Amino acid sequence: MNDFDYLSEGQVYLDSACQSLRPRPVIEAINAYYTEYNSCGERVKYKWGIVTDEKVEATREKVLKFLKLSGRKYTVSFTLNTTYGINLILSQIKANQFKKVMTSEIEHNSPFLATMAFSKKTGLPREVMKRDIDGSINSSAYDFSDAIVVINCASNFDGRKLLNIKDIVKKVHKEGGIIIIDAAQAMAHSVDILRGIEVDAICFSAHKLYAPSLGVIVWRDDLMTKLEEGFIGGGMVDDVKETSYLLSAENKEHRYTRFESGLQAWGEIVGLGAALDWLEKLPKVAWNNLKNNAEELYTFLSASEKVCLVNREVNPTISFYVDGVDSHLLGNALSRENIMARTGYFCAHYYLDHVSKYPPLIRFSLGLHNRPEDIEKVKKIMEKIIY
């Protein structure tokens, strides 16, 4: 695709699950911010600041539109990344309103460790739920009464999804719990699973969504009643006296400031807006290309008896190991051929290493930038290694 024309011939980037490549329009939007109206948002009254304010506000609206959520109920706050967002919410939750914290076995370390730390700090018990092989959770096996549930809706090693998300959210709410979704992986290629689902908060990383490095928290306004103040400073108050202050977040229009302390990454926020515009305008052929590439690679890998796949089905994110071949050495060999793939446990140590007992793995995570030639090249090199 022309929007990734900076890739040299033969360079095959297969690490989109970590950071997607940024298309030209996104890079140009960030450049425009730095070269045409570099200014602080939400404080300055001169012309450049007004442009920044308009674009930042537009990005908040685009995020909600992308998720099909209403601005009447939801607020968009910017932060550093998914990890920071989850920790930020948990650090401010009034633990005495809850009985336990729950997560699942296939989580990235980001929610897995954050819930562990939360449990240690608050003394609330922590429960690790099982996920079915298709990614769903047997809702009748768990009691969500007054629970804080923090789980992903798409995995970072094989893309398996929380297929029964609707059912889980309904049950959590019925039993008095809240649910925070780690959507780091779902946003780029599986957002349909999440669209319109009224969870309590969604955390994601713009850098996995063809946008610059940035975190986003999309949260239901009534979450405010379950939070206590913490991590506050510049950009968050309307008035300050010697020993008291008035939080801007008390005003519905400025509710996003609840999680935005200090100056924000304005250029990156503008870049996220450009990425969402780019995704919206993307022709169907680009999505078909991604689907075909994933199918081609998955079919190729499945055909070899020496390849042990973690995936049960095709997905742009595919993890595996090759029997008798050290994945790290394989990763190095691929790197020498200009193929960039990840090796190890991809921050999902608990499930991949300790539950499933896999050796270190290799992960090919495709993106919209990949060309059919990339897949042909990977197949050719892998054939030499496997056979």
Ligand X SMILES: Cc1ncc(COP(=O)(O)O)c(C=O)c1O
Binding site for ligand X (CB under 6 A): 17-18, 81-83, 108, 110, 152, 156, 182, 184-185, 205
Q: Least Å distance between CB 206 and ligand X?
A: 9
Q: Are 103 and 124 in contact (CB under 8 A)?
A: no
Query: Comparing C-alpha atoms, which of 24, 29, 42 is closest to residue 238?
Result: 42
Handedness of CA 211, 214, 215, 219 (dihedral sign): negative
Closer to ligand X by CB, 81 or 248: give it.
Answer: 81
CB 137 within 8 A of CB 107: no
Cβ 131 to ligand X shortest distance, Å: 13
For ligand X, give the closer residue by CB, 203 or 381: 203
How far apart, in Å, do the first and last CA atoms of the chain sit?
32
In angstroms, give the least distance from the CB of 160 to ligand X. Answer: 11
Q: Residue 16 or residue 52: which is nearer to ligand X going by CB?
A: 16
Residues for the chain: how many in total? Answer: 387
Q: Assess contact for 100 and 125: CB atoms under 8 A.
A: yes
Looking at the Cβ atoms of 3 and 182, the one nearer to ligand X is: 182
Burial (CB < 10 A; 0-12, 13-18, 19+), residue 380, is exposed
Residue 383: CB minimum distance to ligand X, A: 29
Return the number of the residue (249 or 310) whose C-beta is nearest ligand X: 310
* Cβ 116 to ligand X shortest distance, Å: 14
- Tell me whether residue 323 is exposed, middle or buried, using C-beta atoms within 10 angstroms of its C-beta: 0 to 12, 13 to 18, 19 or more: exposed
User: Is residue 53 within 8 Å of residue 44, measured between CB atoms?
Assistant: no
User: Of 185 and 370, which has the nearer Cβ to ligand X?
Assistant: 185
Minimum separation from the CB atom of position 243 to ligand X (A): 36
Find the shortest distance in angstroms from Cβ 156 to ligand X. 3
Residue 21 CB partners (closer than 8 Å, separation 6+): 4, 7, 13, 210, 367, 369
SS3 28: helix
What are the backbone angles phi and psi of residue 178, rounded to the nearest 5°?
-125, 155
Nearer CB in complex with ligand X: 182/260: 182
Residue 272 in contact with residue 206, Cβ under 8 Å? yes
Q: In this complex, which beta carbon is closest to ligand X, that of residue 53 or of residue 158? A: 158
Q: How far is the CB of 117 from ligand X (least distance, A)?
A: 15
Measured CA to CA, the distance from residue 327 to residue 335 in angstroms comes to 12
